[in-house]
């Protein structure tokens, strides 16, 4: 297949350029000159040429947001690539086991109880993990020939159960104060990401990426039938649990800070697979770069196109859904 | 190398499929397990490979019980060739064959140059090296089966366990596959394969084991085991045996 051996560095450079451009985009004008001066100032000592207001905008407003977009996009795409391989299904996204739904319930509950933003995030994180743990526990109790199918079905059921609880909370919430906050959170946004969030989310995501990276070649074997993988000498059950824990932790961490941003984890791994093939050692970095770049681009649009913020989930769906349909219509079966 | 089962009972958690199966496969030998659909061939093979726990009896390699062996060690000794199937993702043929190295690559490592060479050698042995960059999903069924055999060779196991390797192949590919099975046995591999076609057993097996309702009905030389009476017993049909022209083999005719 063409393009299998595409090098990854051009993609990396593209993302870096996008990052640089992102600092200049926004309501407050920042010139290229300011940007360069600030960068060199940080590296080689303070520069006298830039006003402190510009520095504040760059380092305290835009930097956390840019880093947040990279982290959320990269982590969602990496988790999506892992889940799609693990479940041998290219139509799977990171929320297949109910992590987003669980996190959504946690966040909505946090808002309902008028917790602090940090409290809402913590609750989202814990509920996301709890939902997946519940799904896994149910699947482990059901005897079946196809453990993967049972897991996915349990995920669908728990997801819709949790969805009902979210709706219930929305109905009994204060419609003027709490409901808009809930709706906004459920649609995803990076508007409130600050350095403190990143200090928690970044280590969690890095730590979860480590097993995905170290076991990247073995991931390919999970795509085979379970029995085939085991006959090749691989303990597929343990490997699958490790991957599920890693991908779930990572998704929970970024959903807790960015809300429910759909489509990234589904569409980005497809594009990555078209570019570099399904071999996970190449698919993982390609997915992360594409996911980080894509979400940064979308977030730039979300914060600059109108004077008020557009929720990220709306934009990713508006872009992701037609793109996916185009893939289908163009006969480029996204999974082949 | 000698793989043996001793009064093996096999099946699933709540259901024993077969019992009292004692079989041996030695290096350089082709053993064919012949049986009707549902006779327990696949379950027997899964038990041999350690994918199912035996319900009783023992499995040994060179007289050492393998029941407690870790998966990795089993895979270094025995390789599984499943029926060719479509793939879910577009791995190349070479990537697919490289997966056979899983039991030889360290847990956190990726395949080395040596592993690549082993995979390429396996492709050369089966004369499909030119397919190495093709997506596995786009090659023919016959070629896929050869790729799966190549994967087993890359595994560098001593015993190949092949579950109905010819079932999805057309006539030409079936003949070609059996020729390769012969060739690999000549190079010293022990091969145990299952089929429901007595002609294949006659054509290439050293030993034929007739599996009927989970029990070993007969086991021995093809000419002695594959008889009118036995075939009627396991398949419930009447066939005649004919000497095939230009060969010492016989074939079954209706």
Q: Give contacts of B85 with chain A, Cβ < 8 Å.
A: 225
Judge whether B1 and B158 are in contact, CB under 8 Å. yes
Is residue A65 pLDDT above 70, yes or no?
Answer: yes
Per-residue confidence (pLDDT) for residue A71, from 0 to 100 = 97
C-beta atoms of B135 and A228 within 8 A = no
- What secondary structure, in 3-state letters, does chain B show? CEEEEEEEEEEECCEEEEEEEEEEEECCCEEEEEECCCCCHHHHHHHHCCCCCCCEEEEEECCEECCCCCHHHHHHHEEEECCCCCCCCCCEHHHHHHHHHHHCCCCCCCCCHHHHHHHHHHHHHCCCHHHCCCEHHHCCHHHHHHHHHHHHHHCCCCEEEECCCCCCCCHHHHHHHHHHHHHHHHCCCEEEEEECCHHHHHHHCCEEEEEECCEEEEEECHHHHCCHHHHHHHHCCCCEEEECCCCCCEEEEC
pLDDT digits (tens, 9 = 90+) for A152-205: 889 999 999 999 999 999 999 999 989 988 988 899 989 888 898 899 899 999
Q: Which helix (H) or strand (E) holds A320?
A: helix A312-329
Q: What is the mean pLDDT of chain A?
A: 87
Contact flag A216-B111 (C-beta cutoff 8 Å): no
pLDDT tens column, A217-254: 999 999 888 899 999 999 998 998 899 899 999 999 99
Q: What angle do CA B21, B22, B26 make, to 5 degrees?
A: 135
**Is pLDDT above 60 for A319?**
yes
Q: Which of A4, A221, A335 sits opposite B99 (nearest CB)?
A: A221
Q: Which two tokens stand for residue A179?
A: 């409901």
Q: Supply φ then ψ for residue B93, to 5 degrees.
A: -60, -45
Judge whether residue A280 has pLDDT over 90: yes
A223·B100 Cβ contact <8 A:
no
Q: What is the C-alpha to C-alpha distance for residues A106 and A83, in angstroms, rounded to an integer?
A: 22
Q: Please, which pLDDT band fits residue A1 given cuts at 50, 70 and 90?
A: very low
DSSP-assigned letter for residue A224: S
Contacts of A147 (CB under 8 A, 6+ apart): A139, A226, A237
With vertex at residue B209, the alpha carbon angle to CA B208 and CA B210, rounded to the nearest 5 degrees, is 115
B6-28 pLDDT, tens digit per residue, is 999 999 988 999 999 999 999 99
pLDDT at B251 over 90: no
Test A335 with B100 for CB contact under 8 angstroms: no
A336, pLDDT greater than 90: no
Determine contact, residues B196/B166, Cβ cutoff 8 Å.
Answer: no
Which two three-digit tokens encode residue A64? 């956390």
- What's the mean pLDDT in A320-328? 84
Residue-wise pLDDT tens digits, B194-229: 998 898 998 889 999 999 999 999 999 998 999 889
pLDDT band of B152, cuts 50, 70, 90: very high
Q: Say whether pLDDT at A48 is over 90.
A: no
Query: Are B192 and B29 contacting, i.e. CB atoms less than 8 angstroms apart?
Result: no
Q: Is B44 on the interface with A (CB under 8 A)?
A: no
Q: DSSP secondary-structure letter at A8? A: S
In this prediction, residue A3 has a pLDDT band, given cuts at 50, 70 and 90, of very low
pLDDT tens digits, one per residue of A281-292: 999 999 999 999
Give the model confidence (pLDDT) of B101-138 as tens digits: 999 999 999 999 999 999 999 999 999 999 999 989 88
Give the pLDDT confidence of B158-196 residue by residue, as tens digits.
999 999 998 888 888 888 899 999 999 999 999 999 998
A2: pLDDT confidence band, cut at 50, 70 and 90? very low
Q: Mean per-residue pLDDT for B131-156?
A: 92
Which token pair is B179?
């020729």
Give the span between the Cα atoms of A105 and A128, in whole angstroms: 8
Mean pLDDT (whole number) for A254-279: 90
CB contact under 8 A, A214 and B46: no
- Would you call B89 and A227 a contact, using CB atoms and an 8 Å cutoff? no
Per-domain residue ranges of chain B: 2-85+158-253
Sort strands B190-195 and B30-35 into parallel, antiparallel or unpaired: parallel
Summarised one tens digit per residue, pLDDT across range B45-74 is: 999 999 999 999 999 999 999 999 999 999
Beta bridge partners of B253: B240
CB-count exposure of residue A31 (10 Å: 0-12, 13-18, 19+): exposed
- Per-residue pLDDT tens over the stretch A102-129: 999 999 999 999 998 889 889 999 999 9
Residues of A in contact with B82 (CB under 8 A): 225, 227-228, 231
Residues of B within 8 A of A4 (CB-CB) are 92, 133
Cα separation, A205 vs A210, whole angstroms: 9
Of A220, A233, A277, which has the smallest distance from its Cβ to B103's Cβ?
A233
Find the farthest-apart pair of alpha carbons in chain B and give their distance in angstroms, rounded.
Answer: 57
Q: What's the number of CA atoms in the CB half-sphere (13 Å) around residue A239?
A: 28
CB contact under 8 A, A336 and B13: no
pLDDT at A117: 84
- Give me Rg for the CA atoms of chain B: 18
CATH T-level fold of A9-329: ABC transporter involved in vitamin B12 uptake, BtuC (1.10.3470)
CATH class of B2-85+158-253: alpha beta
Mean pLDDT, rounded, for A39-58 = 74
Crossing angle for the helix pair A280-304 and A9-24, nearest 10 degrees?
Answer: 20
Question: Given this model, what pLDDT does residue A61 score?
Answer: 85
Helix (H, G, I), strand (E, B) or coil at A1: coil
Give residue A315's pLDDT band: very low, low, confident or very high (50, 70, 90). Answer: very high
What pLDDT, on the 0 to 100 scale, is given for residue A333?
Answer: 58
Mean pLDDT check: name the lowest of A144-148, A254-258, B172-176: A144-148
A78's tokens: 């990496």
Any B CB within 8 A of A3 CB: no
A281 touches chain B (CB under 8 A): yes
pLDDT of residue A192: 85
Does residue A41 surpass a pLDDT of 90?
no
Question: What's the pLDDT at B168?
Answer: 81
pLDDT of A62 above 80: yes
pLDDT band, very low/low/confident/very high, at B244 (cuts 50, 70, 90): low
User: Measured between alpha carbons, how far is residue A60 from residues A21, A31, A63, A132, B135 in Å?
Assistant: 17, 17, 6, 34, 48
């Amino acid at each position: 297949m063409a393009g299998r051996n595409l090098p990854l560095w051009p993609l990396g450079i593209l993302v870096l350029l996008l990052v640089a451009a992102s600092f200049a985009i926004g309501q407050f004008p920042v010139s290229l000159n300011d940007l360069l001066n600030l960068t060199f100032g940080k590296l080689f000592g303070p520069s006298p040429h830039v006003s402190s207001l510009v520095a504040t905008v760059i380092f305290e407003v835009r930097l956390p947001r840019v880093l947040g977009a990279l982290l959320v996009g990269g982590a969602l795409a990496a988790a999506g690539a892992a889940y799609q391989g693990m479940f041998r299904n290219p139509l799977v996204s990171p929320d297949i086991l109910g992590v987003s739904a669980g996190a959504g319930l946690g966040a909505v509950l946090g808002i309902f109880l008028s917790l602090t933003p940090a409290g809402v995030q913590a609750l989202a994180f814990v509920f996301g993990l709890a939902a997946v743990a519940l799904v896994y526990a149910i699947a482990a109790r059901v005897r079946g020939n196809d453990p993967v199918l049972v897991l996915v079905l349990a995920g669908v059921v728990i997801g819709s159960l949790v969805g009902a609880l979210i709706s219930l909370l929305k109905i009994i919430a204060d419609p003027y104060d709490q409901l808009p906050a809930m709706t906004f959170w459920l649609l995803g946004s990076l508007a409130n990401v600050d350095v403190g969030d990143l200090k928690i989310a970044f280590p969690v995501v890095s730590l979860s990426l480590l097993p995905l990276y170290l076991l990247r070649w073995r991931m390919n074997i999970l795509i085979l039938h379970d029995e085939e993988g085991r006959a090749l000498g691989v303990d597929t059950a343990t490997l699958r649990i490790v991957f599920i824990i890693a991908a779930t932790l990572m998704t929970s961490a970024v959903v807790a800070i960015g809300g429910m941003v759909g489509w990234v984890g589904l569409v980005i791994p497809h594009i990555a697979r078209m570019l570099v093939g399904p071999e996970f050692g190449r698919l993982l970095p390609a997915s992360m770069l594409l996911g980080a770049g894509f979400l940064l681009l979308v977030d730039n649009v979300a914060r600059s196109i109108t004077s008020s913020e557009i929720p990220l989930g709306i934009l990713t769906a508006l872009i992701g859904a037609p793109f996916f349909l185009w893939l289908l219509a163009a006969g480029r079966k996204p999974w082949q | 190398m000698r793989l043996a089962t001793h009064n093996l009972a096999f099946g699933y958690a709540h259901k024993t499929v077969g019992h009292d199966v004692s079989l041996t496969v030695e290096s350089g030998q082709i053993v064919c397990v012949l049986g009707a659909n549902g006779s327990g061939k696949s379950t027997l093979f899964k038990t041999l490979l350690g994918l199912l726990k035996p319900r009783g009896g023992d499995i040994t390699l060179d007289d050492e019980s393998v029941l407690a062996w870790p998966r990795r060690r089993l895979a270094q000794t025995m390789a599984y060739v499943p029926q060719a199937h479509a793939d879910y993702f577009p791995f190349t043929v070479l990537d697919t064959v490289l997966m056979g190295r899983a039991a030889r690559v360290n847990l956190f490592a990726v395949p080395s140059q040596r592993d690549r060479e082993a995979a390429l050698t396996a492709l050369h042995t089966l004369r499909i090296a030119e397919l190495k960059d093709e997506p596995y999903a786009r090659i023919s069924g016959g070629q896929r089966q050869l790729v799966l055999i190549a994967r087993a060779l890359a595994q560098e196991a001593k015993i190949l366990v092949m579950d109905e390797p010819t079932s999805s192949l057309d006539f030409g590919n079936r003949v070609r596959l059996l020729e390769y099975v012969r060739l690999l046995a000549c190079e010293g591999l022990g091969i145990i394969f299952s089929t429901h076609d007595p002609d294949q057993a006659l054509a290439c097996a050293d030993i034929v084991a007739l599996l009927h309702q989970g029990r070993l009905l007969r086991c021995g030389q093809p000419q002695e085991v594959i008889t009118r009476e036995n075939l009627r017993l396991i398949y419930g049909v009447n066939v005649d045996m004919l000497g095939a022209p230009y060969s010492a083999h016989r074939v079954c005719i209706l």
